[in-house]
Structures are given as structure tokens and as C-alpha cells.
Structure 1
Amino acid sequence: MATHALVPLDGSPQSWAAFDHAVSNYDGETITTLHVVDPMEGIYSDYGGGGYYDAGAHERAVERGQELGERARERADDAGILETTVLETAVETGPPARTILEYADENDVDHIVMGSHGRSGVARILLGSVAETVTRRARVPVTIVR
């Protein structure tokens, strides 16, 4: 049975390290990169209860996700695995941790490989940790790469 690995990509060095880890460990299998666009992308507030929505910002975020998928394909090609490995790319919109988990459940993912920024203390409390949430709630094994 073939393994399907999911690699969330945000363009950070940590997410590329996770992708490189997946490439070196899942040659001959299926690797899917997933870029999650936060639904708040494009919403700006004036802190007075009003605000506006910039649809262009959301579209640019989706395009950036597509570009990350193209870069992943180039990296996989440079690693020489494209003849033996299925590489899929996806861009979804939603809260990052929830979207990663839903994608894994809906697409028969066997393993999630993701980068972590390694925040701790107040920064982790204030910013949250997508990697931590995914690790705690995933139904499949998760590998965290730093």
C-alpha cells in the first residue's frame, strides 16, 4: 500500500525543511503540498468596528500558494524523484490547523510532515502553534521538522 504524505507549505525555511524531509523519505510514494490561505487575509479594520475587505489580497495569497507548489515541483525535480513519486499541490482557504486536519482526513493522508517555528513562552501563547494543534488532533502520525 502506497503512503500519502502531506506537507503544509507556508514558504518559511522550516516548511521547506519539512518538504525536503518528505522528499528524502517518501520517494516512490505520494507527496501533497498544501498551502493554507487564512480567511482573514484581505480583511482590514479601522479598530472602530468598521473595516473593509480587499479581495485582491486574498487572490494574491492564493497565487502565492500556487507559486509555492511550483517551487516544490522544481525542488522535487532537482532531487530527481518526479519519475518515481507522485507530487500533488493544493491551495485551500481556512483556519490553518483545522484546514490541514480536514485535508488529511478527506484525502486519505497517511502521514503529515510539517515545519515548526519553535516559538515558546508568550509568543507561542499569543500566536498559537499550528504544528502543536495538528500534532495533538491528527488521526495520522505527524513529523515536526525544524
Structure 2
Amino acid sequence: MATHVLVPLDGSPQSWAAFDYAVSNYDGGAITTLHVVDPIEGMYGDYDSYYDAQAYERALERGDELGDQARDRADDAGILETTVLESVVETGQPARTILEYVDENDVDHIVIGSHGRSGVARILLGSVAETVIRRAPVPVTVVR
């Protein structure tokens, strides 16, 4: 049975490192990239003081663009003939949405990038990777 790997993508260098790790190590299975649009972040423009009705649509489009970039990277790596690559864009709180996707889609492994925050920044901002590690029902590989 082929392994189904989930790679959350936010466009950061760390998330691309996680994707590249998955491409290198899980050829022959299925890789799904998941971009989560946080509805709170998607509602405001460059200035926090005004509502931007198109911000959510732009956030969804960015998720689609990340999926296209992932396909290009996988094609460059030469794995598309042996590996199924799917890209998904969901809306919700990132850690919760990742875990729900795992539960609902028969995922065997998660490969996630870590931003490497520590101290006060980690406490104040939280850590999607840490929440996923603590609550995931499947193995998680964290790539920095």
C-alpha cells in the first residue's frame, strides 16, 4: 500500500523545505499539499483598520498558486510519473484544519515546516507545527 503524505504549505522557506523533503523521501506514493486560509487573516488588507472584501479571494488564489508551484517543483524532481500529487486549499484555523484533513482523508504521515520560533515569540504566536505534533494521530516529521 502506498503512503499518503500531507505537506502543509504556507509559502515560507520552511514549508518548501518540508515539501522538498517529502518529494525526496516519498516517491511512489501520494503527496497532498494543503494551504490553509485563516479567515481572520483573509479579511483585512494591508492596514488592520479597514475591511478588504477581496482579501479572502486573494488568499484563496495564493493557495492555488502554491499548489501550482508545488506541481512545478515535483515535475522538476521527476516524480510525477510515479507519485500522485494533489493540492488542496481549505479555510479555517491552520492547526485544526490540518488535523481535520488528516482524519478525513486517510493520511499516513505529515511533513511540516517549522519556523523555529522560541521563547516569547513562540508563546505569543503559538506554533502550528507544535500543535500538529501533539495532536496528530499519524507520525509527523518536522523540517527546519
TM-score range, shorter chain: over 0.9
| 1:21 corresponds to | 21
Cα displacement (A) at 1:42: 1.1
| 1:59 corresponds to | 57
Q: What is the percent sequence identity of the aligned residues?
A: 82
| 1:80 corresponds to | 78
Q: Find the aligned partners of 1:26 and 1:88 in 2 and give their Cα distance.
A: 14
Please give the TM-score of this superposition, normalised by the length of structure 2.
0.95
Between Structure 1 and Structure 2, whose CA radius of gyration is higher? 1
| 1:34 corresponds to | 34
Which of 82, 90, 93 does residue 92 from structure 1 map onto? 90
Which of 88, 107, 110 does residue 109 from structure 1 map onto? 107
What is the RMSD computed on CA atoms of the aligned residues?
1.1
**Per the alignment, in what secondary structure is the counterpart of residue 142 of structure 2?**
strand
Residue correspondences, number? 141
Counterpart residue type for residue 36 of structure 1: V
**Per the alignment, in what secondary structure is the counterpart of residue 54 of structure 2?**
helix
Q: CA deviation digits over 1:3-35, x for unaligned, max 9? A: 100000000000000000000111000000000
| 1:71 corresponds to | 69
Q: Find the aligned partners of 1:15 and 1:142 in 2 and give their Cα distance.
A: 14
Cα displacement (A) at 1:2: 1.1
Please give the TM-score of this superposition, normalised by the length of structure 1.
0.93
Cα displacement (A) at 1:53: 3.6
